[in-house]
Amino acid sequence: MISSGWMQEMEPIPEEGTEADGSEWGATSDGGTGRRTMRKKEVYTSEQINTLVSERKIISVEGLRRNSTYEFCVISVIDAISSHPSETSDIIHLRPMGRASSLRVVPEMAEAPEFLDIDGDKITICWLPAHSQLPVMGYDVEFRDLQQDDRWYKVNDQPVFACKMTVGDLILDHDYQFRVLAHNASGCSQPSPPSQFVHIEPSTNRLSAMTLDSPNLGHHDLVKYVEAERFGAVPLLQEEMVRESPPLPERDDSPPPLRRANNNVQWRDPSLKEVIEYLSSTDKDKQLNASGYLQHLTFSDNQIKEETREYGGIPKLIALLRSDTPRIQKNACACLKNLSFGKENDANKMAVMESDGVRQLSEVLRTTHDASVKEEATAALWNLSSADMLKPVILESATDHLAQQVIAPIFASNADPSRHFGSTLFKNSTGILRNVSAASQSARRRLRDVPNLIEALVHFLTHSIQKSQVDTTTVENAVCLLRNLSYRIQEVVDPNYDPAAAHLNSKNMKHAASPKPKKKEKEKKKDKNPKNIATGPSLLWQPNVVKLYLKLLQDSSNIETLEASAGAIQNLAACQFPPSAEVRAAVRVEKGLPVLVELIRLPEDFVVCAVATALRNLAIDPRNRELIGKYALRDFLEKLPDPGSPRRSAVSDQTIGAVLGILFEIVRSSAAYTKDVHELKGTDKLRALSRSYPTYSHRVCKYASQVLYVMWQHKELHDGFKRSGLKEADFYSGTARRGDSSTLARPISSQGRERPSMHNLDETLSSGGGYGTMDHRAPPPLNSANRPASATSQTIQRRYDQVPREGPVYASVHKQSPRGGNNVDDSWV
């Protein structure tokens, strides 16, 4: 049996058996004798047994249930006067097997706790689980303040079931230590070694992590309170779920600690499981409070978001969307918004879709008249639309309403555009369409055909530029949406447009019969008719829209907007039909070439890549190519790595490929610019780059070899090359495979980073990497069958591969077609 002292009547000390139980207690404080009454209670039931004992300190209780849990207390009776009941014994769990002596082992001493986080007057400590033959039933945490005394004081009034605790409201400039004690049915372990000393200092970011959805929740609403033996009701403890190392036991499902109000009423916060259960209550007040509290809990806490899904909270929230109370609908939408925020919560997004949440959110948009509910519903759909698998579902269920009822009507209405364009609903709606517009070819076509949608977006950009509001998220969304709608823009006039087939047709165009001159003249006159104002998809390639993109490239500091504006120009200039040629001329007319070249110097590679690819497509126009070669050649060569230098991670293979495409266009058309490339050390860079595999991708090496090849085709430069110590073989070096040089003659188009990562969502795929994407296939060995036999132009015949069909590379425009705008100014600035 286990003995212990007590004051009035000492706490009974149970000894475990199988079905019987023996208990022992000490004498009363006055040493008197008398009768004693033992009360037995089975935990989780109200059953009690009173046993009268005369002048004995040991009693055996028999007939207890196996595998049941009990606790005991004692009352002393002297001369018919009863004492107060003693404190209850430790809870004891009876086991059907095993010797009692083998189970009388307290937990081993735990290791010293460690500090997990220190934030001003709050400290989070953690510790490894204690070893025990019996299940550990909780931990006590003790602390001491060295500025006051050396005594240890208990922090928690109830056992802590997790191996982590946050202690708050510590005194600044004081030093503290902590230790832990483990409990099982046999008793308490020895205190662990104390932690290291920690000095409490003020924190400058104490409230930074407490930014919540509700502005009414302050710091003191977040801290959970328990009693401390020393100070009474003091806000010392905020108990949290274990999420960090060291390895810790399973999730803590114990209820949060009690709080005590000024009137001594004790209360506690509901657990997450209880909150989710309240969502199914028939009481609307409980539904409202539970959904609002769950919104608070799920804000910026991925662990709580995961647990909410595991506890079945998502279907219950979706059921609340059908409530006739707008505040409940709003809270439910806000919870779904939080649960689906971020790529790390894609499992929650799938759970929403599987529970028909997308359709229910769309139904809320169509039926509610409450503006705040619409804002939260569109915010939830915006987060959901970032998942590739949900894009087609949202396209079918929500985009028609958003495009036709939220975005497009502003173009035809007389309402104040500033008020509408600045609304959260408009921002969220453009964000949803931005994401789903990259889902597939059918998504692009469907959105292009929405009446007044493109007009409204252009109207919004025009208004934003006039108001100098070009760095907002809504502008970013609108430009990205227009960029995605401009992808493969030739689909507008040719529904069966296929880039690969178009490239073959452009090569064979010289064999086809030319249209009759009279028909051409009629088409030109029709195009120049001022009454034919562009509407719908044809508005995308109009000069006034191109001018908007150039203005954004000049004025915006949002790198996403810069990348999307350059990408829109890139897409518009990528096709072979006449509007693409007109866009290339319009950029030159609006003095856009120096604007684009200036952005080449930015440190953000994804912006530089979009700009370089746009310039590469614009360089198909001979007059653009001449200006780029004259004023921007040095900037492009700066993007190529120096010979022998380590790889620059800031410049991607995709960007280098786009630069090589520009150099290819410039070099093959002009011996003078080829000479400039050589004098600017470009030849050395190209030779080193052509042999840089696998530091750079095989495709980059191949493109560098192609540029070297066309440099050697200018025979008037051979003497200059030879004076520099170069020979013909130096322009045919590298690891590239052989094939046709038409690869670098093609423009490319791209969707934004909203495009799905799964290629099967779009039968046309994405060409986000047309030039310079990583090719992971190893190059074949250069054996004697494919090596040049000698370095002479008669024996060396260079052929270059076609680009593998993993992305749409657009065919170049027919070089013999008449150029538009011959009377425009060709100046650089």
Listed residue (238, 257, 342, 327) closest to 291, CA to CA: 327
Which alpha helices (H) appear in 167-312, and where do they start and end?
272-278, 284-298, 302-310
Q: What would the pLDDT profile of 582-613 be if each residue is shown by its tens digit? A: 999 999 999 999 999 999 999 999 999 999 99
For the chain, the C-alpha Rg in angstroms (whole number) is 38
For the cut 60, the answer to whether the pLDDT of residue 374 exceeds it is yes
- What's the rounded Cα separation, in Å, for the pair 492 and 444? 10
For the cut 80, the answer to whether the pLDDT of residue 770 exceeds it is no
Q: What would the pLDDT profile of 462-521 be if each residue is shown by its tens digit? A: 999 999 999 999 999 999 999 999 998 888 888 766 655 555 555 444 433 334 444 444
Two structure tokens written together for 65: 């249930």
The pLDDT assigned to 28 comes to 47
The mean pLDDT value of the chain amounts to: 75
The pTM for the full model equals 0.62
DSSP label of 140: E
The pLDDT assigned to 351 comes to 96
Q: How far apart are the first and last CA of the chain?
A: 98
Mean pLDDT throughout 403-410? 87
Listed residue (713, 737, 712) closest to 727, CA to CA: 712
Q: What would the pLDDT profile of 807-818 be if each residue is shown by its tens digit? A: 222 222 222 333
Domains in the chain (CATH in brackets) are 13-103 (2.60.40.10), 114-268 (2.60.40.10), 272-384 (1.25.10.10)
For the cut 50, the answer to whether the pLDDT of residue 754 exceeds it is yes
Q: List the Cα angle 182/188/194 in 5-degree steps.
A: 55
Mean pLDDT check: name the lowest of 113-127, 561-575, 607-621.
113-127
Question: How many Å is the maximal CA-CA distance in the chain?
Answer: 129
Percentage of residues in the chain having pLDDT higher than 90: 45
Look-up: residue for tokens 């562009």?
534
Listed residue (303, 290, 367, 369) closest to 335, CA to CA: 290
- What's the rounded Cα separation, in Å, for the pair 192 and 181? 6
Mean pLDDT throughout 736-765? 52
DSSP label of 651: S
Two structure tokens written together for 99: 């010797």
Contact 732, 788 (CB under 8 A): yes
Q: What would the pLDDT profile of 27-75 be if each residue is shown by its tens digit? A: 444 444 556 666 656 554 545 555 656 566 677 777 777 667 778 888 8
SS3 label, residue 766 = coil
- Concatenating the DSSP letter of every residue in 403-442 gives IIIIITHHHH--S-HHHHHTSHHHHHHHHHHHHHTTS-HH
Sort strands 226-228 and 81-82 into parallel, antiparallel or unpaired.
unpaired
- Crossing angle of the two packed helices 371-384 and 357-367, in degrees rounded to 10: 150
Q: How many residues does the chain have?
A: 829
Q: What would the pLDDT profile of 65-79 be if each residue is shown by its tens digit? A: 766 777 888 888 777
The pLDDT assigned to 367 comes to 94
346: number of Cβ within 10 Å: 16
Contact 430, 477 (CB under 8 A): yes
